[in-house]
Amino acid sequence: MNILSIGEVLWDIIESWEHLGGAALNFAAHAKTLGHSVSFISAVGEDERGRRVLETMKAMGLSTRFVHTIPNQPTGTVTVTLNSAGVPDFVIHRPVAYDFPELSDSDFAELASFPPGWIYYGTLFQMSPVAKALTFRLLESFPKAWRFYDVNLRKGCYTSALVGELLALANVVKLNDQESGTLQSMLGRSYKSLEDFCKATLDQYGWEAICVTRGEAGCALLVGEDYVEARGYKVQVADTVGAGDAAAAALVHGLEQGWPASEIADFANRVGALVSTHFGGTPDWTIQEAEALTPA
């Protein structure tokens, strides 16, 4: 399967360490681990961090073909503070290079030569008018591709109007339990249960699927009329950076394979839990390691 991931690439600065990250880059890396072809679209600065992004991506086996270098803008960074449970708090520094992505006509032609089956996008990236315009052009250029929207709300990096636009474009939506509460407030509604929330929003927007991740508690997944709440996996957490992005890649993988909701949800829980046992958003892992985990 060919997947197109558009969004931020940056360095997560955790204490004295810098880990390559950004939700869209993390997702791309985990989708590749699952055996898929990934075209990643973003931008870096003409600086040392930008050069390290490209070198690290190549070492990971990810193509840098559509990651352009933007003069006079720094490569993206985020300062990450972890609490005692390894849950991160982010300070996102902007404007940066990924706020000004660009694709040439020849880039679009090359992407069209192997059209994507899926397009992944998030919220943070779309706060830049330049980035949003490019995302929308890509969605319009590949109307047959399924659209995976990872809501992924970050303080100061979304508006209700923007989230509403992005929800309406999606086929599949992933968000966490806290974001489900935020979305209910945006919509001016409240629901008796997570199942009611999933069914009502899926019907409202005409999605194919919605997933609400719940950390150690697992996730809720609705695919069509098939609803499941799958329990999580208790692991020794290093940090949770990138765990949700890994789960997103696992969701796309399972949906593309046509698995039942229970199998998809369990696999997403396994992959997310496994990634949380490592530091940084793009650690090395294998499907065999994920399958070896035992339920909480």
Here the CATH number for the domain that contains residue 202 is 3.40.1190.20
Q: Answer whether residue 115 shows pLDDT above 90.
A: yes
pLDDT at 17: 86
Tell me the residue range of the domain where 152 lies.
2-291
pLDDT at 173: 98
C-alpha distance from residue 174 to each of 108, 211, 241 (Å): 27, 5, 16
120 pairs with which residues across the strands? 5, 148
Whether 192 is covered by a domain: the verdict is: yes
10 pairs with which residues across the strands? 21, 76
Q: What is the pLDDT of residues 169-202, one digit of tens each?
A: 999 999 999 999 999 999 999 999 999 999 999 9
Q: Which range among 4-8, 21-25, 280-284 shows the weakest confidence by mean pLDDT?
A: 280-284
Q: Answer whether residue 42 shows pLDDT above 90.
A: yes
Q: Report the predicted TM-score, pTM, of the whole model to 2 decimal places.
A: 0.95
* Among the listed residues 192, 198, 240, the one whose alpha carbon sits nearest the alpha carbon of residue 219: 198
pLDDT at 296: 66
Whether 296 is covered by a domain: the verdict is: no
Q: Which residues contact 137 (CB under 8 A, 6 or more apart)?
A: none
Q: What is the pLDDT of residues 119-158, one digit of tens each?
A: 999 999 999 999 999 999 999 999 999 999 999 999 899 9
Whether 253 is covered by a domain: the verdict is: yes
Q: Which residues contact 87 (CB under 8 A, 6 or more apart)?
A: 239, 240
Whether 23 is covered by a domain: the verdict is: yes
Whether 85 is covered by a domain: the verdict is: yes
Q: Answer whether residue 86 shows pLDDT above 80.
A: no
Triad 10, 20, 132: Cα angle to 5°: 30
Q: Token pair 């150690």 is at which residue? A: 216
What is the spatial distance between Cα 60 and Cα 30, in angstroms, rounded to a whole number? 10
Q: Answer whether residue 294 shows pLDDT above 90.
A: no
Mean pLDDT across 270-296:
91
Q: What is the pLDDT of residues 209-238, one digit of tens each?
A: 999 999 889 999 999 999 999 999 999 998
pLDDT class of 280 with cuts at 50, 70, 90? confident
Whether 196 is covered by a domain: the verdict is: yes
**Domains identified in the chain, total number:** 1
Whether 267 is covered by a domain: the verdict is: yes
Q: Answer whether residue 251 shows pLDDT above 80.
A: yes
What would the two tokens of residue 247 be? 């789960």
pLDDT at 260: 98
Whether 225 is covered by a domain: the verdict is: yes
CB 223 within 8 A of CB 208: yes
Please report the sign of the dihedral spanned by the C-alpha atoms of residue 226, residue 231, residue 233, residue 238. positive
